Amino acid sequence: MVSSLRLPTLTSLFSPSFTRRSAVYMRRRIHLRPPLAAGFSAQSAASSPTETEDRVDNKKSGRVQDRGNTDGIITPRSQDFNAWYLDIIANAELADYGPVRGTMVIRPYGYAIWEAIQDYLNVKFKETGHSNMYFPQFIPYSFIEKEASHVEGFSPELALVTVGGGKELEEKLVVRPTSETIVNHMFTQWIHSYRDLPLMINQWANVTRWEMRTKPFVRTLEFLWQEGHTAHATPAEAENEALQMIDVYTKFAYEQAAIPVIAGRKSKVETFAGADKTYTIEAMMGDRKALQAGTSHNLGQNFSRAFGTQFTDENGQRQHVWQTSWAISTRFVGGIIMTHGDDTGLMLPPRIAPIQVVIVPIWKKVDEKAGVLDAAKSVAEALKTAGLKVKLDDTDQRTPGWKFNFWEMKGVPLRIEIGPRDVSSGSVVISRRDVPGKQGKVFGISMEPSILEAYVKDRLDEIQSSLLQKAISFRDSNIVDVSSYEELKEAISLGKWARGPWCASDADELRVKEETGATIRCFPFEQPRGTKTCLMTGNPAEEVAIFAKSY
Amino acid sequence: MVSSLRLPTLTSLFSPSFTRRSAVYMRRRIHLRPPLAAGFSAQSAASSPTETEDRVDNKKSGRVQDRGNTDGIITPRSQDFNAWYLDIIANAELADYGPVRGTMVIRPYGYAIWEAIQDYLNVKFKETGHSNMYFPQFIPYSFIEKEASHVEGFSPELALVTVGGGKELEEKLVVRPTSETIVNHMFTQWIHSYRDLPLMINQWANVTRWEMRTKPFVRTLEFLWQEGHTAHATPAEAENEALQMIDVYTKFAYEQAAIPVIAGRKSKVETFAGADKTYTIEAMMGDRKALQAGTSHNLGQNFSRAFGTQFTDENGQRQHVWQTSWAISTRFVGGIIMTHGDDTGLMLPPRIAPIQVVIVPIWKKVDEKAGVLDAAKSVAEALKTAGLKVKLDDTDQRTPGWKFNFWEMKGVPLRIEIGPRDVSSGSVVISRRDVPGKQGKVFGISMEPSILEAYVKDRLDEIQSSLLQKAISFRDSNIVDVSSYEELKEAISLGKWARGPWCASDADELRVKEETGATIRCFPFEQPRGTKTCLMTGNPAEEVAIFAKSY
């Protein structure tokens, strides 16, 4: 999460275009044709479609005939990936710009995705022996200076409180960019003996980094994250913990977010400021840039030596503790958007979707309405009872076609349509978000709760694994094995990831970055067998590294 | 939560004594006899007792004969309430002091209480139609100045960020003390028509107020809270919402925290800076001081006028929205401690206790150990499966007596003891935290899961309502009905709350405060019938007010 932030990202899409897009979007809102524009531009915090002054013509109804068209509002992904990303965030009401440059307001639908991430990880952290707690966000400036590489890494991007209660402060305070320093200050008071170890905690918190180039979710001045901090009696325990937590993240990415991250170790250049080793999960976005989606650091004794965090071991000797820290942030929400989204909008993996199933009742004549709504309500209730996250969109201010588009744009995995004929036949129509058009549509699924529930759960499971498989294929078809710097350069220039043996110097690594814009994303845990020759130096290499442009 | 913070609190216990106590506590740690001192002073973040260098003599065993003595470590409540409070926070490892004056580290056991509060309220907020989201914590200084009484109320206690990314900022940033201003800035962009209303959101966040006199949980420089913010089309809707949310808080206080708060309306003097009306829940602490435990504000159009938050109504007219905001903070944890705790330590209502049942296995001979531990484990499993929060304290580093004391001090509602004789008879011994000694102890409860589970759940329910009843009796025996200022003064001087008819001026209210140290806590919703005469002016009064000294 951290090390790459230390370095200017040559290839990312910068604030200027971000701001420009926003302006374009604002202009567009005015010119779009009323029914669609109204729904998409309505900036309500509620997650259901809201109305504007323009009353929608509700005569057009029936199934799918009146599909709106999202082309006018969401830039095609292939045309301008960054514009597409920002359009989705605006239209799906995931986030908005805060009044201070680079800050972001996380809107209810975006926050609900973050809550799904929290709910899963919070359980895993507790299962692996960690307790939640909370550290103050104001850190004395002197703390940051105690660990040499830490201050070097973080000082350029600190926010400083210099005035409190109307008075200039004697010591300026850092608004936490990360909490290793204050954590160690406290650990030093709590840890006395080996019996106090391991000490394993986590906090959910906001952090601040004065980033120059911001992008919603991916890099913001303030963001939300969890940061785990542990202290151990031996280096082996710390190493195991760092690895265990990157595994928790990897599993989360694959199984919940359907993002086939590549887990591995960072190069020295890219290691967290203050860590001995940084483990990372790297995700390939739809534009084939890498997103560092989570990190776990083996801090060794760097902070414990700086802060004097010692314990008395079983032989009565005083020793410095061995530590780890690990984090996942709201950046992950950006990763989900950029992995699965398409030209229609967001596409959410069922396991982290705030709404898994949307139910759209369809009627033409007034006397059909009650029957259709009753059926839709019972179906909604049955699925809710089965533990599914269901939204019944029963407003009569919008046509079914409008609703289809709206909820597709919001990335809801499954849609259930219920019309008068369905009511008569006791069945429903089910459409998959990930399979467009008729192919993703199945008619005549029984409304009988146990049958419907089983069917819906199966489809959600299918969508979950289908999204993962699609992302795996995309990833694998965009990683090129290279054996020379020429090949690496070619792969990168084609927008791909390059994987090749590497044992060259830090200077060589920086040269690659300067010349290609790509960095070592990681030395992946999964390594090919056999002898390898460094692509840069021609010397024997122990490992392959993955190079890519990144966010 | 807010208005009383605006005024110097004459009667509260200030930082000097707070710091002094801490020093006393530090000194004490050194002199206490090893086994007990070791356990209490070990500052591990784990919630189970931890070891220090001093190996505990584990020969002393058997049931309760070797009870440790907490007198040396927890100041008796009657002797020095503030010292008692701080001793509990330190010994039960609820919180610690952060490195920056007035900041607090919330330790796992204290944080788990906060999580229990969050879990309950989060569900209630969603049930009542609110969505969670997140606003940036940095607010342009100019925002704070837009609402006249708001800036007056908050400017003395702001923390300001003046440097970001190494540069002096053009506009200094306020670290949010509360979010009405930034919320309105965003609402203005999201609300267009009456169809966008009501807009009902909540955020869980940290807030910063540069308090001069701090006390863990009760008043800290940074604290955690939730803040709800809503916008409505009519004043009636806003008023209903403000009342609905104070009801949610009241119900939470009674049913979960077993705190019989008095709900009512604040006087004009005590109303939130920027609100038309503030509703409050006021809790009587063990020292009979009032704690403002939650507030709900009807903001009228004060912020919408300041920020131009308008909507087009059904007749096409532009109108300013009507708003509310409401909050409960980590202060509530302090309220729980000070309502239920006793000389033995913390006493937690079962519904918010991080551990509801602690199981202490007891054995004397080595050959008894396995059988006892097996039985203890099955009992623990059975109760966990039944949805209870169970801790099995099976360390052999501590005597059962030490464990009894430790978990009583931590406020765990029920203790299950299992010894060799219990294993033979297939039964356990159960002790209630709220009924000391033999009276609270029942022998021979069957280990059979369904019987035990039912018994334990019944006892927990009993404890829950017994704590509430005790707090109600205490509260009611300490509220005095007064009909003159003399009577009011006498009641306050006896440390009680005074309730009497009031229709006097703000100046009179401030005079009462100056002369007695008491403020109007609220005009309670529950009002006596009949005609009333103002205790101060002798004029007809419509309502009684409650006066008390407060935190």
Per-residue pLDDT band at A147 (split at 50, 70, 90)? confident
pLDDT tens-digit map of B65-106:
333 444 448 999 999 999 999 999 999 999 999 999 999 999
What is the maximum span of chain A, computed from C-alpha positions, in angstroms? 85
Query: Whole domain around residue B455: which residue ranges?
Result: 357-459
pLDDT class of A17 with cuts at 50, 70, 90: very low
In a domain, residue B349? The reply is no
CATH of the domain at A434: 3.40.50.800
A48 CA to chain B: closest CA distance, Å?
Answer: 10
Strands across the sheet containing A414-418 = A390-392, A357-361, A414-418, A427-432, A441-446
B33-42 pLDDT tens trace: 232 222 223 3
For chain A, give the percent of residues with pLDDT over 90.
84
Residue A489 has pLDDT above 90, yes or no: yes
| CA–CA distance, A63 with A361 (Å, rounded to integer) | 10
The answer to whether B131 contacts A140, with C-beta atoms less than 8 Å apart, is no
Cα separation, B518 vs A272, in Å, equals: 54
DSSP B256: T
pLDDT band at A448 (very low <50, low <70, confident <90, very high): very high
pLDDT of residue B199: 98
Residue B468 belongs to a domain: no
Q: Do A99 and B185 touch (CB under 8 A)?
A: yes
Distance of CA B373 to the CA centre of its chain: 36
Q: Which residue of A has its CA nearest to B44?
A: A190
Residues 55-94 of B with CB under 8 A from A: none
| A498-549 per-position pLDDT tens digit | 999 999 999 999 999 999 999 999 999 999 999 999 999 999 999 999 999 9
Do B248 and B150 fall into the same domain? yes
CA distance B74 to B109: 18
Cβ burial B133-143 (10 Å sphere, 16+ → b, else e): bbbbbbbbbeb
Query: What one-character DSSP code corresponds to residue A147?
Result: S
Q: In the predicted model, is pLDDT for residue A31 greater than 70?
A: no
Residues 6+ apart with CB under 8 A from A469: none
* Domain shared by B389 and B451, yes or no: yes
Asked whether the beta carbons of residue A164 and residue B159 sit closer than 8 angstroms, the reply is yes
Longest dimension (CA), chain B: 85
Please state, in angstroms and rounded to a whole number, the distance separating the CA atoms of residues B29 and A189: 13
Decide which of A293, A309, A340 is a domain's last residue.
A340
Identify all chain B residues contacting A45, using CB atoms and an 8 Å cutoff. 131, 133, 190, 199, 201
Q: Answer whether residue B59 is part of any domain.
A: no
- How much is the pLDDT for A22? 39
Q: Are residues B200 and B272 in the same domain?
A: yes
Residue A299, number of CB atoms within 10 A of its CB: 27
- Shortest Cα distance from A42 to chain B (angstroms)? 7
In a domain, B323, yes or no: yes
Same domain assignment for residues A279 and A166: yes
Which residues 392-411 on chain B approach chain A with CB closer than 8 angstroms?
397
Size of interface A-B (CB pairs under 8 A): 229
Q: How far apart are CA A499 and CA B15, in angstroms?
A: 60
Instruction: Point out the domain boundary residue: B424, B459, B494.
Output: B459
Which of A52, A160, A192 lies closest to B52 in CB terms? A192
| CA–CA separation, B292 and B126 (whole Å) | 24
**Distance (Å, rounded) from C-alpha B433 to C-alpha B435?**
6
B526 in A contact zone (CB under 8 Å): no
Average pLDDT of span A244-271: 98
pLDDT per residue as tens, chain B (551 positions):
333 333 333 233 233 333 333 333 333 333 322 322 222 233 333 333 333 323 233 333 333 333 344 444 899 999 999 999 999 999 999 999 999 999 999 999 999 999 999 999 999 999 999 999 999 999 999 999 998 888 888 888 999 999 999 999 999 999 999 999 999 999 999 999 999 999 999 999 999 999 999 999 999 999 999 999 999 999 999 999 999 999 999 999 999 999 999 999 999 999 998 999 999 999 999 999 999 999 999 999 999 999 999 999 999 999 999 999 999 999 999 999 999 999 999 999 999 999 999 999 999 999 999 999 999 999 999 999 999 999 999 998 899 999 999 999 999 999 999 999 999 999 999 999 999 999 999 999 999 999 999 999 999 999 999 999 999 999 999 999 999 999 999 999 999 999 999 999 999 999 999 999 999 999 999 999 999 999 999 999 999 999 999 99
Residue A315 touches chain B, beta carbons under 8 Å: no
Contact by Cβ (8 Å): A492, A519: no
Under an 8 A CB cutoff, do B195 and A50 touch?
yes
Query: Are residues B160 and A161, on separate chains, in Cβ contact within 8 Å?
Result: yes
pLDDT of B151 reads 83
Cβ(A58)–Cβ(A363) below 8 Å: no
Same domain, A182 and A252: yes
Q: Is B474 exposed, middle or buried (0-12, 13-18, 19+ CB in 10 A)?
A: middle
Q: Is the pLDDT of residue A43 over 60?
A: no
Contact assignment for B165 to A185 by CB distance below 8 Å: no
Tell me if B124 is assigned to some domain: yes
Helices (H) and strands (E) in chain B, counts: 16, 25
Give the pLDDT score at A479: 98
Q: Are residues A146 and A254 in the same domain?
A: yes
Chain B residues with CB under 8 Å of A160 CB are 161-164
Beta-carbon count within 10 A of B448 CB? 13
Cis peptide before A198 (omega within 30 of 0): yes
B282 φ/ψ angles, rounded to the nearest 5 degrees: -115, 125
Task: Read off the tokens for A297.
Answer: 């650091």
Non-local (6+) Cβ contacts of B372 within 8 A are: B361, B362, B363, B418, B419, B420, B423
pLDDT at A480: 98
Distance from CA of A134 to the nearest CA of B (A): 5
* Same domain membership, residue B503 and residue B429: no
Give the separation between CA B518 and CA B510, rounded to whole angstroms: 9
Q: Quick check: is B291 in a domain?
A: yes
Rg (CA), chain B: 26
Q: For A312, which of B53, B163, B190 is closest by C-beta distance?
A: B53
Between these two residues, B20 and A446, which has the higher pLDDT value? A446
Mean pLDDT within A273-289: 97
> What are the structure tokens assigned to B333, written together?
């944890």
pLDDT for A152:
84
Q: Check residue B44 and give its pLDDT.
A: 33
User: Residue B551 carries which side chain, given as an amino acid letter?
Assistant: Y
Average pLDDT, chain A: 88
Question: Cβ of B45 and A131 within 8 Å?
Answer: yes
pLDDT of residue B77: 96
Residues in contact with A78: Cβ distance below 8 Å, sequence separation at least 6, in sequence order: A343
Same domain for A302 and A408?
no
A47 touching B (Cβ < 8 Å): yes
Which residues between 102 and 141 in chain A have a beta carbon less than 8 angstroms from any beta carbon of chain B?
A: 103-108, 110-112, 114-115, 131-140
How far is B538 from chain A, CA to nearest CA, in Å?
41
Report, as an integer, the average pLDDT of A382-408: 96
Check residue B176 and report its DSSP letter. P
Q: Stretch A175-189: mean pLDDT, rounded? A: 97
> Rounded CA gap, A339 and A83, in Å?
15
Three-state DSSP at A164 gives: strand
- Asked whether the predicted pLDDT for residue A107 surpasses 60, the reply is yes
Spell out the residues 6+ positions from residue A135 whose beta carbon is closer than 8 angstroms to its own.
A176, A179, A182, A183, A186, A203, A205, B98, B105
Contact B219, B331 (CB under 8 A): yes
Same domain, B328 and B447: no
| B390-392 and B357-361 strand pairing | parallel
In a domain, B368, yes or no: yes
Residue A71's pLDDT band (boundaries 50, 70, 90)? very low
A434 lies in the same domain as A499: no
Instruction: Give the model's pLDDT for residue A294.
Output: 98
Residues 6+ apart with CB under 8 A from B415: B357, B358, B359, B360, B404, B407, B408, B430, B431, B433
B289 in Cβ contact with B549 (< 8 Å): yes
**A332-365 confidence digits (pLDDT tens):** 999 999 999 999 999 999 999 999 999 999 999 9
- Where do we find the tokens 């890498």? A290
The whole-model pTM stands at: 0.88
A44 with B190: Cβ contact below 8 A: yes
Q: Which of A97, A324, A118 is nearest to A205 (CA)?
A: A118
pLDDT for res B533: 97
Residue B427 sits in the same domain as residue B498? no
Q: Which pLDDT score is estimated for A56?
A: 30
Q: Is A162 touching B (CB cutoff 8 A)?
A: yes
How far is the first Cα of chain B from the last one, in angstroms, to the nearest whole number?
A: 11
CATH value at residue B227: 3.30.930.10
The domain that holds A521 is classified in CATH as 3.30.110.30
Token code pair at residue A49: 């479609």
pLDDT (0 to 100) of residue A148: 81
* Cβ-defined contact of B132 to A138 (cutoff 8 Å): no
- B205 interfacial to chain A (CB closer than 8 Å): yes
Q: Total structural domains in chain A?
A: 3
**Is there a cis peptide before residue B136, judged by omega within 30 degrees of 0?**
no
What residues pair up with A201 in beta bridges, in sequence order?
A131, A229
What pLDDT band is residue A151 in, cutting at 50, 70 and 90?
confident
Q: Say whether both A187 and A318 belong to one domain.
A: yes
The answer as to whether B253 is a domain residue is: yes
Query: Which residue is it, tokens 């709504």?
Result: A373
Residue A49's pLDDT is 36
Q: pLDDT band for A154, please (50, 70, 90 cuts).
A: confident
Task: Flag if A43 and B137 touch (Cβ within 8 Å).
Answer: no
Would you say A394 and A378 are in contact if contact means Cβ atoms under 8 Å apart? no
